[in-house]
Amino acid sequence: MTRIILLAPPLSGKGTQAQLLKERCGFVPISTGDLLRRASTSLDEEGRQLAKILASGELVSDDIVIRLLSARLEEIGMEKILLDGFPRNLHQVELLDELLQSKNASIDVVFFLDVPKEILLSRIEGRRVCACCGKIYQVTKDEQRCTCGGELITRSDDNVSSFEARYQQYLEITMPLVSYYSSCGKLVRIDGCQEKEEVYQDILKALKERCEQ
Ligand code: AMP
C-alpha cells in the first residue's frame, strides 16, 4: 500500500504525472483542483463563489477543500492514493495527518517537482485540458480533440495574471511544505524540467527504492 503526494508549482506537469502513475502503476489520483472545478459548476451560491475564486487563482478555504477530499476518500478508499494539489499549506498538512490517522494510514513519499518560473510561464499559452476526461495537453497548433474524443479547452486560470497569483501563493504558502516533508525524511526532489517520460522514470525509480524494500 503506497500513498504519495505530488507537490509542485502551477503548470509543473503534476497532473500529467498523476495521469501516468494512474495508467501505468494503478494509483488513484485525487486532484483537489479537479474536485473544486467540478463543485464550481454547481448552480448554488457555493458553486458561484468557487468559480470566482478558481478564476482568480486564489486558494479556496481549507474547510471546503477538506470536506471535498474526505468525501472522495470515502468513495475510493485509502489504497494507492496519489494526492495532487493537496496539501497546499501547513494547516492542510495537519488536517491531512488527522484524517489519515483516523484511518490508520500515513503518507509514504512526497515528490517535489522542481521547475523554475520562466519554464512555467512558457507553458501557459499551449496548455489545454480535455473537457471530458481531464487529460492535459501542451499544444503547438490547434488540436481540437482529446484521444477520448472530448473537446480541448483552456482552463479559466491559465492566463498570466492568474498564474502570477497562483505562483505567489505557491512561494509563500506551499513552499514551506518542502522543508517540512524534507525534515520528516519523506521528500524526494525531481527535476521537473525534463521530458515528461524522464520525470516519470525518476519518480518510478524513487518509488521502487522507497516503497519496495
Ligand atoms: P490545481 O488544479 O491544483 O492547479 O488547482 C486549481 C485551483 O484550485 C487553485 O488555484 C486553487 O484556487 C484551488 N485549489 C486546488 N487545490 C487546493 C487546495 N489544496 N487548497 C486550496 N485551494 C485549492
Check residue 58 and report its DSSP letter.
P
Closest CA to ligand 1's atom 10: 57
- Asked if 22 and 134 touch (Cβ cutoff 8 Å), the reply is no
Question: Which atom of ligand 1 sits closest to the CA of residue 86?
Answer: 19
Catalytic position from the list 80, 127, 186, 189: 127
Compute the distance from residue 87 Cα to the ligand 1 centre, in Å. Answer: 10
Compute the distance from residue 198 Cα to the ligand 1 centre, in Å. Answer: 26
Residue 137, pLDDT score: 86
Integer Cα distance of 155 and 37 in angstroms: 10
pLDDT by 10s per residue, the chain, length 213: 689 999 999 999 999 999 999 999 999 999 999 999 999 999 899 999 999 999 888 899 999 999 999 999 999 988 999 999 999 999 999 999 999 999 999 999 999 999 999 999 988 888 888 888 888 888 877 667 888 999 988 888 888 888 999 999 999 999 999 999 999 999 999 999 999 999 999 999 999 998 765
Compute the distance from residue 85 Cα to the ligand 1 centre, in Å. Answer: 6
Spatial CA neighbour of 156 closest among 35, 40, 21: 40
Find out whether the beta carbon of 86 lies less than 6 Å from any atom of ligand 1.
Answer: yes
Closest CA to ligand 1's atom 15: 33
Residue 127, pLDDT score: 86
**Contacts (Cβ under 8 Å, ≥6 apart) of 85:** 6, 14, 31, 32, 33
Integer Cα distance of 22 and 82 in angstroms: 9
88 catalytic residue (yes or no): yes
Distance of CA 176 to the CA centre of its chain: 17
In the chain, the largest separation of any two C-alpha atoms, in whole Å, equals 49
DSSP 150-186: PBEE--TT-SHHHHHHHHHHIIIIITHHHHHHHHTT-
DSSP 116-138: -HHHHHHTTTTEEEETTT--EEE
Compute the distance from residue 145 Cα to the ligand 1 centre, in Å. Answer: 25
128 catalytic residue (yes or no): no
210 catalytic residue (yes or no): no
- The three three-digit cell numbers of residue 127, written as one number: 496548455
Question: Which atom of ligand 1 sits closest to the CA of residue 57?
Answer: 10
127 catalytic residue (yes or no): yes
Integer Cα distance of 4 and 13 in angstroms: 16
Phi, psi of 178 (to 5 degrees): -65, -45
Spatial CA neighbour of 11 closest among 172, 163, 178, 191: 163
Catalytic position from the list 117, 135, 155, 186: 155
pTM over 0.85: yes
- Quick count: other Cβ atoms within 10 Å of Cβ 86? 23
